Amino acid sequence: MRKFYFTICIFIIGLSACVTVKPKDFTYPYTKEYTGLDTLININGYYVTERECDSTFFSVFMFYPDGLFTIATANNISDLTDCFENGGKSNFCQYASWGTYRVTGDTIKTQTIRQEGMGICTVFRDYEIKGAEILINISDYVYPHNTNLGYMKDYPSFQKNKCAKAAVFYPLAKKRNSEDCSFITKKWFNPNK
């Protein structure tokens, strides 16, 4: 009998590791509705921008016409090209963050989900539209009290980017399938499911 209870406990722990809990501050559910963003900027490719004044990392991000958004951070963008075009087969391609966006005036407001194990949080990034292929990352932050990821409490957040540079646009012949988003089947993320 003791062996049976031990097996049940292991099964429950394993099952709970597969569950994704909604972040406390995620407020932009994926409605899968046309946003009109493609009338403001070119979304047939991805954008690359330097993250901060003292960072050697680049943010590589892409928008879908139905409100879906994906982003990855790397020190070498050539590793990400295949990920953003084809989904890629490397483990590196599995670490892109997914989320959603809303357009408010000349600003694209994004919310991406950062998840590791049972820890989860929302990362907020805002991009100012300066032209059809010109975006500037004006803010990048988390709410430390809402994260379950301990190291994200010290995320190098900025409510206002002090050394913002324009993102560079790279066209793609095709984009990664939006169904690769691991949250697309979660009711809290996609109420249409």
Coil/strand/helix, residue 78: helix
Q: Are strands 119-131 and 45-50 parallel, antiparallel or unpaired?
A: unpaired
The answer on pLDDT for 4 being more than 80 is: no
pTM: 0.82
pLDDT of residue 98: 94
Please give the distance of CA 8 from its chain centroid, rounded to a whole number.
Answer: 35
User: HSE-up of 120 (CA within 13 Å, CB side)?
Assistant: 17
Please give the distance of CA 90 from its chain centroid, rounded to a whole number.
Answer: 18
Band the pLDDT of 56: cuts 50, 70, 90.
Answer: low
Q: List the domain boundaries for the chain.
A: 22-180
pLDDT of residue 26: 93
- Tens of pLDDT, residue by residue over 119-133, are 888 999 999 999 999
DSSP secondary structure string, 2-43? Answer: HHHHHHHHHHHHHHHTT--PPPTT-----------GGGTS--
Band the pLDDT of 159: cuts 50, 70, 90.
Answer: low
pLDDT of residue 140: 85
Band the pLDDT of 81: cuts 50, 70, 90.
Answer: confident
CA distances from 73 to 22, 104, 138 (A): 23, 25, 16
The answer on pLDDT for 12 being more than 90 is: no
- The pLDDT of 71-86, averaged and rounded, is 78
**Between residues 82 and 92, which one has the greater pLDDT?**
82
Tokens at 6, concatenated: 């031990």
The answer on pLDDT for 60 being more than 90 is: no
Of 111, 91, 31, 92, nearest in space to 65 by CA: 31
